[in-house]
Structure 1
Amino acid sequence: MDGMPADGLEDSQAEGSPSDDNATLHHSIKQLAKRLTLRQKDKSWASETVNDLRSKFLEYLKNNAHTYFQDVTVLNSGSYYETVKIGDPDEFDMMLLLRTPRLEFTEIDNLNGVFYKVTLIKPTRERIQDFLLQDGRTISPTKVLEETRHLVCKFIKTYNAAGGKQNWTLTRKNPNSPAVTLLLKRVGEEDNERGGEEELERVTEPKGLDTREQISLDIVPALKVSENQSWPTATRQGLDVERWLGRKTRRNLTSQEFYFVAKKPKKLRRNLSPDAQESWRISFSHIEKEIIMNHGNNRTCCEKNASKCCRKQCLKLLKCLFERLKKLYPNDLKPLCSYHAKTVFLHTLSVRVKDQQWAQKLLPKCFLLLLGKLEEHVRDASLPHFFVPGHNLFAPPDFPRRSLQFLQQTLEDQRMHGYPLLREAQLVEPLSTTDGMTPKGPRSLARPLSDRPVKKAVMMCFPFLLFFFMFLYNKF
């Protein structure tokens, strides 16, 4: 991408494809973008519900928690707070920032700069020592996450949700997640015992929060590394925003703090070392939020009285396409997630830098261009982490080759048939796969739901039925 012109991708790439000249597709993209906007009443109810729990939880920690957790601060992160959430405001992320003394972080070998062993530079008598390994220096993500879960479980037993018509339950542990997840359920459902651990199914399909269905909240403990400490060496070539946001902005961003979250490498990696088993994953959630919220090449982009761009709408559309693809092929596309969409989006912004290239009227063309960049990354089997470019998000074991090949074929089928998933207000019927690799019947994927064979058969039979009843009427 570094070899691309400073002005960004050529507009001819978007204009030159057959799909881009399709007025119907352009209209469908615009209409879908409008439908992805969250309703204000849903946002208000959901945010008030989560805010109430957050404030009460912080108060509980201050009065009841292990002293190391008493001084935590909260960082609201995730798509809702980046204003790129789609569907319903039903998923929230809350990072618990744990105060730490000066740290030393050592990159774990063969994990491409995203996992680190985190140790204290010198011994301490602070209560963080309860979360150290036997060497007295290494901070254990396992111990921190277990304590977080214990505190959340105790808190939920004492907490009454605002309004009294819902309650929060703790979901079962997920070994691949750095979060403790709470799920809001309506009182009166089959399982309404508060504070119990149970295996709950995530809500993935929008249901309209006016019916007060469910909200999930991920509580993520994180070590806060002071802004006085430099970012790791693996990040030096990352955050390529100089041509887009400016050299000064990049310098200001890289001088901020960063975080470590308690996420371990996947167990699919063989022979993990002891250090890897107790490693932390680096996180720049706050930087991602800042550059998405302040995304303009000009400072005034999307401000109240300034021109509006279509950048965020393009990201929402890409996330919507991902959700619909995963709904059709949940097993084949299991590794695919919204972070892949965000990373492709950020890479595209870093080369297509001018605000006028993202003008509101160019929404369909810009989105199709973004899809083209996604296909390039998939075809090349390369999606560098935006902050740690040595880490490829499309590499095994995180993204198996078989799944990547399936994604490539699926995207090609979508493009060849005019992106049928973007034309549908609702999801098309799930399709089976022939061999786990190739989508079955791509033409059936391109057919709208309203164009059903049954409907056609009824319409064809209608004249004969009418003639038959007229014959009976005349006879009797």
Structure 2
Amino acid sequence: MATRPKKQGGNSTDSGKDRNSKEMQESKLSTCSEFQHSNSVHSDGNGKAKRKTQQPNKKNNSASMVNGTDICVSTTSKCLVKCSAKKKEEILQQTTSGQIETKPSVSMKAKETTSKSCRRSKSVEQNDLGISQGQVHSKAPKETNFNQGRSKTELHDLDAKTKRDHCMEKSDPKRRNSKINDYEDTYNSARDRDEIRSQASRSNSLPISNLSKHLKNAVESLKMKMDDISKAAEKVNKIIDLIIKSESTKSHPLFKSMTKMSTGSYYEGVKISNPNEFDIMLKISFESYHTIELTSIDEGGAFYTLAFKKRKPSAMSLYIDGEGNILAKHILDEFRTLVNTVLKQSGKPASVERKDPSSPAITLTISNEPENISVDLVLALQIRQWPESASNGMNIDGWLGTKVKQDYRKEPCYVVAKQKDKKDTWRISFSNIEKDIISNHGSAKTCCERQGPMCCRKQCLKLMKYILKQLKERGNRRMNQFYSYHAKTALLHTCVQFPKDEDWKQEDLHICFNRYVEFFQKCLKTYSLPNFFIPSQNLFSPDEVDKASCNYLLEELEMEKAKNYPIFLKRFSLDGRSSTGIT
């Protein structure tokens, strides 16, 4: 009786020799039974016996050991017939002499078992993992033909690797996501981004299990390089200082008191694009005895005409009409002329862009590599008292506290030149308060500080701004009515609804962002987004944003949310950089 040879890479022991020898004989017999009875007999329905060739890819299988190598054999219950002792010995001799060739299988690297039932279950395991029966491989590079002696019609032309991959995807689709799940703590790696992008290309959406990692990847890619920021900010500050400190400005009766305000997305820390777009507010303040009276011209309470109550500054004489109203258009035109003159005299690589009647800003273009820098200069008049329409706004008592709210209301607000129904009007701006709220957004003072817990409020705002930016870049004109201010206003309202820092944990980014998107969707669906400081002003009113545009954005957000925001995959392909869009 043949004994089981020593297994490669290890030594066999004397104990269990007999048992192993017996099992090896049974395994050989089981293997040979498959070959001897592969052409089993069955009835053709007319009572006649008919030969049927056994195919190599049957699901039912058994495992056996021949010369220390696992093999996987296709079989049916009819193949498992008993042989006489003499027949068994003949088959055993054929197997030993090498007349029956076997094909090695893939080593599963599992613990060696001595029970034949365990070895059979291991073969079934291989099939569950998608390894095709009769098409498995061993460690040895040389393969033997398992199908030697069979007809050509029984052979499969499909490559073994292709068949294995096909079976793996068919039998266990979750294996597709295994790579991503293995790297939960390294979400910002290129490998994760490639896996997520590859995954989306197969199913046109992303699995919910990877949404948190996907959004964190997007946030990481939206970060700007500090070196780029410093260089761009330095150029912008030089141009602004040049305008403010020039002789032309210092000698001008109205603009000589002009100062720069640090407002906008750059100073709020929520800028998403390259540092090539900046918003700078330049304020003009008056003495305390020069009180400005506001007269609302619409039901929303955001647009006003301005007039001095009693005494008016001598510098304003040229910019007041017969009714005593301050002329926004005249002041803006005078400021544009001043800026143009200063830049031409300086010889600096900067110029003033064409005038936009609907915009309160004067746009500058500063030459820069690799792309030019665009700066919007917004002229603002300081107003010491808040309008009556703002008395019911900024409901931050449960979020930032009543004392903080009272302190904010002591701060001045501003008005910027903005046409309303082609009238010379001013719009209320609380950009200074907005910047302070966004910068100090935690219900606890330590939120997002160096030693404090981190929240995801700013991250959610960046993600929403990026979605609006990408939808705008697709070229649909309906998106032209939406701005980053809409995203900021929606976030402030959501923060009021969920005031605690625990509601915005960084590890719950996917939950918080979905909640934020759902609020924005509700506003679009009802065509109502109240101004955070002036609740009577609806930012989604028909004269601000038409209903068709609201419906379009609502559908786009619904689609993105349903597929777990594949729009961010484009950001990965840009290697973390963006060129244009909402800032």
TM-score using structure 1 length = 0.74
8 Å CA contact 1:225–1:257 kept in 2: the answer is yes
In structure 2, the partner of 1:107 is 296
Answering whether residue 399 of structure 2 is matched by residue 253 of structure 1, we say no
Deviates more, 1:242-251 or 1:300-309: 300-309
Cα deviations by residue, 1:248-306 (Å, 9 ceiling, x for unpaired): 00011011101010011255xxxxxxxxx121000000000000000010011111111
Deviations 1:288-332 (A, max 9, x none): 000000001001111111111111111101101111111124312
- Output the CA distance in 2 between the equivalents of 1:28 and 1:168: 40
d(CA) in 2 for partners of 1:377, 1:260: 26
The answer to whether the 8 Å contact 2:243/2:249 transfers is: no
The CA distance in 2 between the partners of 1:290 and 1:62, in whole Å, is 33
Give distance in 2, aligned partners of 1:374 and 1:23.
23
Q: Please state how far the C-alpha of 1:416 moved relative to its aligned partner.
A: 2.7
Find the counterpart in structure 1 of residue 431 from structure 2. 285
1:242 corresponds in structure 2 to 397
- Structure 1 or 2, whichever has the larger Rg, is 2
Partner of 2:78: none
> Cα deviations across residues 208-254 of structure 1 (Å, max 9, x unaligned)?
xxx4311111111111012xx3x111111111111100000001101
Cross-structure match for 1:409: 555
Alpha-carbon contact 2:416-2:428 (below 8 Å) kept: yes
Alignment-derived partner of residue 129 in structure 1: 317
CA contact (8 A) 2:263 2:281 kept: yes
**Residue 423 (structure 1) shift:** 3.2
Q: Please give the per-residue CA displacement for 1:339-383, whole angstroms capped at 9, x wherever unaligned.
A: 110011110011111112111111121111111111111111110
Aligned pair count reads 367
Residues 1:223 and 2:355 aligned together: no
CA 1:243–1:62: 2 relative to 1, 3 Å: farther
Query: Aligned partners of 1:302, 1:32: CA distance in 2, in Å?
Result: 19
User: 1:59: which partner in 2?
Assistant: 245
The DSSP-based 3-state class of the residue aligned with 2:571 is coil
| Correspondence 1:142 to 2:298 | no
What amino acid does structure 1 have at the position aligned with 2:293? E
Q: CA deviation at 1:26?
A: 2.2
Deviations 1:50-95 (A, max 9, x none): 1111111111167554211111121122100111000211111222
Q: Is structure 2 residue 366 aligned with structure 1 residue 184?
A: yes
Match of residue 271 from structure 1: none
Regions of 4+ moved over 6 Å? none
Retained in 2: the 8 A contact 1:96–1:219? yes
For residues 103-142 of structure 1, what are the alpha-carbon distances to aligned partners after superposition, in whole Å with 9 as ceiling and x for unaligned?
Answer: 11111134x100011100014352111111123x211101
CA distance in 1 between counterparts of 2:361 and 2:478 reads: 25
Structure-2 separation of matches of 1:400 and 1:307 = 41
- Identity of aligned pairs, percent? 36
Partner SS, residue 333 of structure 1: helix
Q: How does 1:53-452 map to 2 (within 5 A)?
A: 53-60=239-246, 64-100=250-286, 101-110=290-299, 112-124=300-312, 126-135=314-323, 137-161=324-348, 167-186=349-368, 211-226=369-384, 229=385, 231-265=386-420, 267=422, 277-425=423-571
Partner Cα distance (1:27, 1:168) in 2: 42
Unaligned runs of 5+ in 2: 1-204, 575-583
> Residue in 2 aligned with 1:195?
none
Preserved CA contact (<8 Å) 1:324 1:427: no
Task: Supply the distance in 2 between the matched residues of 1:248 and 1:26 (Cα, whole angstroms).
Answer: 36
Distance 1:125 1:82 in 2: 34
Equivalent residue of 1:305, what SS? coil
Which blocks of at least 5 consecutive residues in structure 1 are unaligned? Answer: 1-18, 162-166, 187-210, 268-276, 429-476
Q: Distance in 1 between matches of 2:498 and 2:232?
A: 35
RMSD: 1.9
Report the secondary structure of 1:301's partner residue: coil
Partners in 1 of 2:474 and 2:573 — Cα distance?
A: 8
